[in-house]
Chain A
Amino acid sequence: MAVLFKKIKNLEAQIDNYLDMVVKGGFLFKQGIKYFLEEQTEEFESRLINIDTTESDADNLRRKIERRLYTETLIPESRGDVLGLLEACDKVLNKTAETLHQFSVELPFILPEVKNYYLELTDISVSALEEMVAAVRSYFTDIIHVRDHINKVQLYESESDKIAEKIKRIVFRSNIHLSQKMHMRYFALHIESIADEAEDVCDRLSIAAVKRFI
């Protein structure tokens, strides 16, 4: 019996570590965008390397967790939901790394008057990601508060939509080349989609939480 509980504790720690990595990814993303907008290339590139490592470590850990959940036939009723949630969280982390890579590869031109909006959009999207992680943690330990976190994610997501729209309005009313307008719009969309992905995780989570008590 003691062995079983020890194993469980270890797996709990692995899930917590995984979620920590997702939060870390969000933090690195926020810093990366900030350094890009401030044109501190070295700092930006270092965050890019860090986020790649985090993403790859998170992938390995997620696979380990999934393997253990199946081989040790744990939580048979909720296993599918948990695996789905972890994979959905992984998509959000991948999105942060991918977006930062696109900044590095495409070096988009950003209008000085929308830089702050980009920072604000990044902040809000990362907040959605962090609240999503809190919701997932809550699913494991404090199910009655899952709803509170999900509501916050939804608020952040709708806020990110508004800021992205603001950016697009300013950009498309400015006197720059259409390709630059399209480029900025594209990057606003990418940052915004982090909050969208976080909301998708929460949609899945709200169903999983209800299923726990059917």
Chain B
Amino acid sequence: MIWFFLLSGIFLGWSLGANDTANIFGTAVGTRMIRFRTAAIVTAIFVVLGAVISGEGATHTLGKLGAVNAIAGSFTVALAAAVTVAWMTKLKLPVSTSQAIVGAIIGWNFFTGSPTDINTLVKIVTTWVICPLLAAAFAFVIYKFTMAVLPRSRVHLLQQDSYNRVGLLLVGAFGAYSLGANNIANVMGVFVPANPFTDLSFSTLFTLSGTQQLFLLGAIAIGVGVFTYSYRVMITVGNDLFKLTPVAALVVVLSESLVLFMFASKGLEQLLASYGLPTIPLVPVSSSQAVIGAIIGIVLAKGGRGINMKVLGKVSSGWITTPVIAAVISFIGLYFAQNVFEQKVVEPINETRIEIQYQNIQIDTLKNSIIDEFDLKEDIKIKNSTKMIP
């Protein structure tokens, strides 16, 4: 039964793999700079790595917004987000998985009477607005710099092409890692409080926590989405939507990846905090909106002619319409799940316990890292003692 409940998350992961990975390799595959097979393999590997290694940060923020603590509730929330994404895509409306899942969680909060943390909500919505702006700023600066340096580099056009291919592959791998780290929260985040997995130890090598196993499952779903359906989307993105030069494409993907990474990296958060700088909130953001932001940055770097204000309006409207639609679908879905299918969509626990639950997750992660460190020290001790034996 647990596996059935996870299906909606897996479906969401599949659709994310099919659609959003095109933002990373779309231009490269569409312009035949990189073969689809290569792009798909790199994406699948790095999405899994990003999700398992760095997926926790953005998930924690979603958990603070609303800790969906019953597996049937998680199923319905993820399904509501997936249905919203599929429906809006069919209607050709701009849609983001991140915004859909946030709406669906708020729907769960309304249905169960759980409080919505307004501070967290404001943080999330502000991030959505900042995300394309930041991507535009990155793209503007990187593009200006590249265009100032490249013509003077005296590198042969054919060599530039090769470097560009290598660059697209490396930046694409970074983009896939960042996408996995940032967007796994959308796919599996709602299942974390009701996580059915327990920690898995691989002898003394490493321990895979329950959350990491959940993220691995979601990441595999994303990988399957990449292999089974993303080719068509990549070709569309590469040939129809964005007619960019390979250099501009590289800048767009790099800017998008940097933004996704910034909003997902715990390491960066800790680094900023250690210098007493304001930290960047770890929030799942839309890769599509980051791409649009980056393209606008390039257009501005070229003089700002030809910006389609309709597109900007559509993107902005998505910040409101997507969560609202998802919240409504989630609310209705939860009503049916509870009253028609007689499923428990919420565990009656108080707010403090929700916080404790997330603190436990963090403690688990900390514990694992301490264990790893301890194991390492033990290994060194053993090695030293064996050296002393004549």
Contact = CB atoms under 8 A, between A and B. Distances in A.
Interface string A65-87: 00000000111111000100000
B152 A76 contact: no
Interface in A41-90: 73-78, 82
B359 to A, nearest CB: 46
A75 B158 contact: yes
B232 interface: no
Contacts of A76: 31-33, 246
Contacts of A11: 158
A36 interface: no
Contacts of A75: 157-158, 161
A78 B245 CA distance: 9
Interface in B143-190: 147, 151-152, 154-159, 161-162, 165-166
A170 interface: no
B302 to A, nearest CB: 8
Contacts of B158: 8, 11-12, 15, 74-75, 140
A176 interface: no
B159 A8 contact: yes
Contact of A140 (B33, B152, B157): B157
Contacts of A213: 147, 151, 245
Q: Quick one: which of B152, B156, B158 has the most chain A CB within 10 A?
A: B158
B246 A143 contact: no
A212 interface: yes
A207 interface: no
A82 B33 CA distance: 17
Contact of B245 (A77, A140, A144): A77
Contacts of B147: 213
B99 to A, nearest CB: 33
Contacts of A214: 245, 302
A144 B155 CA distance: 12
A212 B166 CA distance: 19
B154 A142 contact: yes
Contacts of B33: 73, 76
Contacts of B166: 1
Given A1-B166, A74-B161, A75-B161, A143 B151 contact: yes
B152 A144 contact: yes
Nearest to A81: B157
Interface residues of A, number: 23
Nearest to A16: B156
Interface in A166-214: 212-214
Contact of A77 (B151, B159, B246): B246
A4 interface: yes
Contacts of B157: 75, 78, 82, 139-141, 212
Contact of A212 (B31, B154, B159, B245): B245
A5 B160 CA distance: 11
A78 B155 CA distance: 15
Contact of B151 (A12, A78, A144): A144
Nearest to A140: B157
B156 A140 contact: yes
Interface string A150-166: 00000000000000000
Contacts of B302: 214
Q: Quick one: which of A1, A15, A73, A82 has the most chain B CB within 10 A?
A: A73
B162 A5 contact: yes
Contacts of B165: 4
Contacts of A1: 166
Contacts of A5: 159, 162
B129 to A, nearest CB: 30
A214 B166 CA distance: 21
Contact of A141 (B154, B161, B245, B246): B154
A4 B245 contact: no
Contacts of A8: 156, 158-159, 161-162
A102 to B, nearest CB: 36
Nearest to B152: A144
B307 to A, nearest CB: 15
Contacts of B159: 5, 8, 12
A74 B245 CA distance: 14
A142 B350 CA distance: 68
A4 B156 contact: no
B234 to A, nearest CB: 14
26 contacts: A1-B166, A5-B162, A8-B156, A8-B158, A8-B159, A8-B161, A11-B158, A12-B158, A12-B159, A73-B33, A74-B161, A75-B161, A76-B246, A77-B31, A77-B245, A77-B246, A82-B157, A140-B157, A140-B158, A141-B154, A141-B156, A142-B154, A143-B151, A144-B152, A213-B147, A213-B245
Interface of A: 1, 4-5, 8, 11-12, 15, 73-78, 82, 139-144, 212-214
Which 7 pairs, one residue from A and one from B, show the smallest C-beta to C-beta distance? A75-B161, A140-B157, A144-B151, A8-B158, A73-B32, A76-B31, A143-B151
Given A73-B32, A75-B158, 8 more contacts: A8-B162, A11-B158, A15-B158, A74-B158, A76-B31, A82-B157, A142-B154, A212-B245
